[in-house]
Amino acid sequence: MNQYLTEQLSEEEADAIIEIANIDYNNATTEEINDEILKAALINLSNEIDSEQPLATRATRMFSAINTLAADIPNETKYQFPTDSDLAYLLRDLKYDATTVNEDSSLRYAGLNQFKNADSSSIKLQLTKWLATSGQFRNGGNINLSFPQEAFSSQIESITLNGVQMTSNSDGSNWSAPVNGRTVNSGLIGVVTNHDLIINLKDNQTLQSLGYTNDKPVYVLHTWTNNEGEVVAESIDTSFINPTVETDVDNSKSTGFIAGKIKNQIHYNKDNKTLDSVHTFKPNENFLQSDYNWILYIKEQIPQDLLPYIDLNNIELYVSDENGNKISENRVVNVFADDNGLVDTSKVDSISILDNNTISDLNNARGELDRNVFYGALGQSRSYTLSYSLLPGITLEKIAKDLNESTEDARLDFSSWLEADYVDNRSVGFDNGAPFQPLEGSYATSYLDFYDYDNDGVPDIIDDEPEVGNNDPTIDPIEDQIITEGESITPISITSQDDDNDPLTTTVTNLPEGVSYNEATGQIEGTPQVNDWKDTEEVRDYEVQVTVDDGQGGQTIETFIISVNRDTDKDTVADITDTDDDNDGVNDSDEEASNLDPKNNDTDGNGVTDGEEDTDNDG
């Protein structure tokens, strides 16, 4: 920290800023560090307003130091992401370069599942996958875990998949492992396999000690890439890790119906203006045959920040494809959410026995649930969707704008699970009113972000033309300058910013002789000199070009004019207003009338000034 600041400021100024700044360098995010440095710099600036050094000079140097510092913080590297797919908005947290999404691979589905609390330094998840044919993933490709939160990724000691060490990129934001028999049993085709994925944190830290809670979870983007580097659509899983799972893990029930764990993905349907929460899994048994006595309840917690924008009483639940599309308009159940945003189908009479607890009610509810929600061919993956309609007049642009203004993180977190219930009293298959049992592997999380990464005013979730990777820096406008030859210019401050916090390089060209750009102060300084004036020339205009480059392909150019007024006799009065440019005692107009040179005090070069040769003082 001190090293970076002292490159731009004096040692005293840097020490003052560091002393003022209140930063936990082990846990603070880049944004938090930037905010604290900015506050400290401004406090230091206000304390020194009476200093002889110009205010603009101090401000420029301090902001330059902030930019340099932020650029060195890990996880700020910008990566290319695919823009050729409707799923591109789900890939903004990628921490590796990828340009294409493959939507027709041999991978039927894959994702992460949290099945227990993450309350120790070893976080245990499961990776579930189903390969339909041998194809490209028989032995090839990579599994990737991208972590967008630097405060978390920097604290990862290691990650193992099925006991195999994953490898990380240079800043620890992406961890990968090859697709092969050791990692995910890639040779097993047409069979669901689940594999332990263990994240080990440094120094015995936990999610809680790092400041993470169920309201502030750890985000992770799971993807697979094939040998061509394409992201496989069926692998995209935007999930998060909570310190505490929201279900009763000690009362959970194992079943072949969830042999392949549930993954959740949030889609935006532009045509219907709905947010569709799609749940995909691979059963080894059909719903009705998995347990002849149960009914399953679907639970989903809608993000609190989303509640003001959706119709809680008009939610559709239906069997769908993996993209949330209905397989039939006639296979739909209308459900609702309570005031806290919890969807609970135990409250929906047509698919519940909560209030009508008889064998007949059970059979009717099971039939409705099987036909409208869990329908599918045995041996295939299947999906069901909860579709949330936006309220009239609500757009995603408005949601994005409100979230970015009112919350620290413009991500919305969804969590869902399944619970089993039985008739309270019967000869077999009863539970005497016991609590519902959550199904192992049914707890699924997903997040949807509403960021406008390319700053074009359109959140990326509905942006048809999102820009890739990097924002251009900006330069504050610079006013044109007028200066008299031989006079020092008032320092001209060059102030630039970069939304990505990339380190900026400034170059200034086409300056007058004697004037230069001072990198240390961030100002244009000096005394202009012109040594090649034309005979009657009185003003020389220089179109100065300021170029700011962020080193990531982003560049901005600002131009302005420095006008240098000629001062032939160096009396500090510009020729354009001086009545005697050469100070020979003869007015310029008289010299011009006498065919003398008003800019040469000895036109004939005889060593006697034109004024001395005018013995009768008549001009």
- Stretch 487-496: mean pLDDT: 94
Q: Is the pLDDT at 150 greater than 70, yes or no?
A: yes
Q: For the chain, what is the mean pLDDT?
A: 84
What is the per-residue pLDDT for 54? 41
* Rounded mean pLDDT, 301-313: 96
Task: Tell me which of 464 and 550 has the higher pLDDT.
Answer: 550
Find where tokens 């041996």 sit.
379
Cβ(318)–Cβ(384) below 8 Å: yes
- Is the pLDDT confidence value at 456 over 90? no
- At residue 596 the predicted structure's pLDDT band, cuts being 50, 70 and 90, is confident
Q: Which of 375-389, 457-471, 563-577 has the lowest mean pLDDT?
A: 457-471
pTM of the model as a whole: 0.66
Residue range 242-282, pLDDT digits in tens: 999 988 777 889 999 999 999 999 998 888 899 999 999 99
Over residues 167-199, the pLDDT tens digits come to: 999 889 999 999 999 999 988 888 899 999 999
Q: Give the DSSP per-residue string, 488-510.
A: PPPPEE--EE-TT----EEEEES
Question: How large is the average pLDDT for residues 12-38?
Answer: 63
Is residue 485 exposed (0-12), middle (13-18) or buried (19+ Cβ within 10 Å)?
buried
The rounded radius of gyration (Å) of the Cα atoms in the chain is 35
Nearest Cα residue to 461 out of 238, 308, 267: 267
DSSP label at 217?
-
Q: What local confidence, expressed as pLDDT, does residue 12 receive?
A: 65
Residue 15 pLDDT exceeds 80: no
Whose CA is closest to 90, among 278, 253, 217, 255?
Answer: 278
- Backbone angle region of 347, left / alpha / beta, with phi > 0 → left and psi within -120 to 50 → alpha: alpha
- Please give the average per-residue pLDDT across 373-401, as a whole number: 92
Rounded mean pLDDT, 565-576: 85
Q: What are phi and psi of 445, to 5 degrees?
A: -125, 155
pLDDT tops 80 at residue 153: yes
pLDDT over 90 for what percent of the chain? 55
